[in-house]
Amino acid sequence: MKFLYSDGPIIACSTGTNTNAAMAVIRISGFKSLHQFKDFFTKDLTGPIEPRKVYYTSLVLQGQFIDDVCLTYFEAPKSYNGENILELSVHGNVLNVERILGLFQSYADCRSAGAGEFTYRALKNKKLDLSQVEGLDLFLNAQSTYALDQGLSLLSGNLHEYYLELYDLFLVHKSSLELSIDFSDDIGEEAAKDYYLKSLQQFTDKFSSLVKRVGPMGPNLIQPEIVLAGLPNSGKSSLFNFLLSEERAIVSSRAGTTRDFLSEYYEIEGVKYKLVDTAGIRDSLDDIEAEGIKRSKSKLHSGFFKILLVNPLEIDDGLHNLLQNNFDLIIFTHNDLPGFEAARERLISIYPYLGSIGAINLLEVSRAWELELKALVNKKYLYSIADKPILLERHKSLILQAGIVLSRYQSLATSESDVAILSHELNTLGSCLSEILGIVSPDQVLNSIFSNFCIGK
Ligand SMILES: Nc1nc2c(ncn2[C@@H]2O[C@H](COP(=O)(O)OP(=O)(O)OP(=O)(O)O)[C@@H](O)[C@H]2O)c(=O)[nH]1
Ligand SMILES: [Mg+2]
């Protein structure tokens, strides 16, 4: 990322520039002195300006009035990212915001900030560590109150504290190993071993509670998706439109109408799911449709709640493959058509477990049915978050990795007396832990985290 190497003043609108609003907040960060902006305000910036106090002033360019603004100065290092920051609350018309941004870029040597650049500087200046940055990202992009709370918890709450305490216990244990090497003569071999094992136990107990929150690498709970899948013409797009209460997807009797997946937000009990309509799964010789089908299959793989629609009047061998997936709900459609019962019986004779599933007519599906569907999805969601799972994949995989190293180390701790071997394993464990906290942050980790951020953060 290019911006990681430049530390000149940056500017961005932190409240988004897509729509007109009553107000917008523009942020400038990384300038040397407020004096450099003295010509832009009627307030005298060369006089005393108290940090963190709001001043009402006019913004002007070469004597021409631009806007009435509220100006707040955050002096380094006591600011969000440790740099001098100037925040301007301006009128939120998109054109006004763009004009003000342009003005500072053209006349005050400010550069347009990259996504997450303000926060990157906070990381660089040690105002936040990497796991706090990820927490902030989770918080700002949360689609459920659970994700919102976990974001906060990582940013400055319990989870952040927990990681720090765990790392402290690790350091205590590491020092106990060093103690047993360097000072066992002073404190006695028995006492040194005792201290060593006790500190390992304390660390392991704390780590175990964290592992319980990881579980298997499951569906994405940060942006959970409800995926509608099935063979062509099974009614996926009809159900998609019904749930969204709009004709969002094209519905037609021609098999293969939906060629790429479509997705829209669909809220259930405060969780903003993505409802995904997929392309009907079939062997296609058409390159574009084949690509759409490939994407649909991958949606099926990552989906949180998977629904299979089956029109028993139009089935082929592809159904067998589809049924290999773990669906949360299977529904027969087209139950209003002649021949439905016979076709359904035929299918049940091949797949007896389909005998217990319900059937609906998607042309007349009811809102009561939708409520039942919502209750099912919500039940699964509540179940999934019951053990307070860690949401971030990077943390999950590092915790699992640390768990493997820890169990190897534990068995060595009681059997191995070669301190060099023990130290080596302990250092590997330490690297995993410091990566979780972000004490060591490989560039690619930084890039993938910051590419997620919005401009102005
Ligand atoms: N009679 C009847 N027709 C239905 C029902 N559900 C869907 N249809 C019709 O079946 C046809 C196919 O429906 P779609 O919703 O486009 O099916 P799809 O699964 O999205 O199909 P592809 O996009 O081709 O994969 C349309 O003509 C719908 O009006 C149903 O329950 N009963
Ligand atoms: Mg469709």
State the CATH number of the domain containing residue 49: 3.30.1360.120
Q: What contacts 374, CB < 8 A, 6 or more positions away? A: 268, 269
* Token reading at 391: 């949401």
Q: The domain containing residue 191 runs over which residues?
A: 132-215+391-438
Give CA–CA dist 284/432, Å, rounded: 45
Name the helix (H) or strand (E) containing 85: strand 85-91
| Atom number of ligand 1 nearest to Cα 337 | 1
Is 446 part of a structural domain of the chain?
no
Cβ atoms of residues 68 and 96 within 8 Å: no
Give 244-247 contacts, CB < 8 A, sequence gap 24+.
244/275
**In this predicted structure, what is the pLDDT of residue 445?**
61
Please tell me the distance between residue 228's alpha carbon and the centre of ligand 2 in angstroms: 10
Please tell me the distance between residue 299's alpha carbon and the centre of ligand 2 in angstroms: 15
For ligand 1, mutation pick of 248, 257, 369 (most atoms within 8 Å of CB): 257
Question: Which string of DSSP letters, residue by residue, matches 123-173?
Answer: HHTTSS-HHHHHHHHHHHH-SSHHHHHHHHHHHHSHHHHHHHHHHHHHHHH
**In this predicted structure, what is the pLDDT of residue 338?**
95
283 and 362 part of one domain: yes
| Atom number of ligand 1 nearest to Cα 250 | 16
pLDDT tens string, the chain, 457 residues long: the values are: 555 557 799 999 999 878 999 999 999 999 999 999 999 999 999 999 999 999 999 999 988 999 999 999 999 999 999 999 999 999 999 999 999 999 999 999 999 998 889 999 998 898 988 889 999 999 998 989 999 999 999 998 888 889 999 999 999 898 888 777 665 566 666 777 888 889 999 999 999 999 989 876 566 788 899 999 999 999 999 999 999 999 999 999 998 899 999 999 999 999 999 999 999 988 887 888 889 889 998 998 889 999 999 999 999 989 999 999 989 999 999 999 999 999 999 999 999 999 888 888 888 889 999 999 999 999 999 999 988 899 988 899 899 999 999 999 998 888 766 778 888 999 999 988 988 877 665 565 666 667 666 767 7
427 and 311 part of one domain: no
* Token reading at 437: 């906290």
243 and 351 part of one domain: yes
CB-defined site of ligand 1, < 6 Å: 230, 232-238, 251-253, 255-258, 279-280, 333-334, 336-337, 361-363
Q: Determine the distance from the C-alpha atom of residue 272 to the mean position of all C-alpha atoms in its chain, rounded to a whole number.
A: 13
**In this predicted structure, what is the pLDDT of residue 444?**
59
Tell me the β-bridge partners of 265. 274
CA distances from 433 to 9, 24, 406, 423, 440 (A): 34, 40, 11, 15, 9
Give CA–CA dist 354/289, Å, rounded: 29
The domain boundary, picked from 88, 111, 129, lies at: 129
The domain boundary, picked from 60, 94, 129, lies at: 129
104 and 245 part of one domain: no
* Token reading at 45: 């910036």
Q: Give nearest CA residue, ligand 1 atom 11.
A: 253
378 and 402 part of one domain: no
**In this predicted structure, what is the pLDDT of residue 453?**
67
Secondary structure (H, E, C), 217-239: CCCCCCCCEEEEEECCCCCHHHH
274 and 375 part of one domain: yes
Three-class SS of residue 307?
strand
Please tell me the distance between residue 124's alpha carbon and the centre of ligand 2 in angstroms: 48
Please tell me the distance between residue 303's alpha carbon and the centre of ligand 1 in angstroms: 22
| Atom number of ligand 1 nearest to Cα 360 | 31
Q: What contacts 284, CB < 8 A, 6 or more positions away? A: 256, 290, 293
| Atom number of ligand 1 nearest to Cα 309 | 19
Give CA–CA dist 93/26, Å, rounded: 12
| Atom number of ligand 1 nearest to Cα 228 | 19
Tell me the β-bridge partners of 55. 71
Is 448 part of a structural domain of the chain?
no
367 and 423 part of one domain: no
Under DSSP, the state recorded for 262 is E
209 and 240 part of one domain: no
- Report CA Rg, the chain: 29
* Token reading at 145: 């109150």
Give CA–CA dist 435/427, Å, rounded: 12
Q: What is the dihedral of CA 310, 316, 319, 321, to 10 degrees?
A: -170
Q: Give nearest CA residue, ligand 1 atom 7.
A: 235
Is 445 part of a structural domain of the chain?
no
Report strand pairing: 225-230 vs 64-74.
Answer: unpaired
**In this predicted structure, what is the pLDDT of residue 377?**
97
Please tell me the distance between residue 272's alpha carbon and the centre of ligand 1 in angstroms: 26
Q: How many domains does the chain have?
A: 3
Q: What values do phi and psi take at 111, rounded to 5?
A: -110, 145
Helix, strand, coil distribution of the chain in percent, nearest 5: 50, 15, 35
